[in-house]
Amino acid sequence: MARYLAVSCALFALVALVTPSSTCAQATKYGTFSGNPRTEWLNDGRRMILLDNFSFIEPDGTRWTAKAAHHPLRWSVAAGGR
């Protein structure tokens, strides 16, 4: 889970650095994102998890994906309460 959190934090930082404030058209020369990241804060108030996969696609088609973490509550419901 720490790896996924690190990748998602890196993607968030990349969003801040790559996305220009003027127009979205300029962002396409650097690449595009697969959508908006969906996250959820953990109980400690400092960390968050990625709920859905989130990708950055470079202009050459290379895709960098942050995989969604399995929230413990959701995982226990999906696994039948184990």
pLDDT of res. 33: 92
27-68 confidence digits (pLDDT tens): 578 899 998 999 999 899 999 889 999 999 999 999 999 999
Give the start-to-end residue ranges of the domains of the chain: 2-78
Return the bridge partners of 34, or none: none
Separation of alpha carbons 20 and 46, rounded Å = 27
Q: State residue 32's pLDDT score.
A: 93
- What's this model's pTM, rounded to 2 decimal places? 0.48
Q: Give pLDDT, residue 14.
A: 59
Contact between 55 and 65 (Cβ < 8 Å): yes
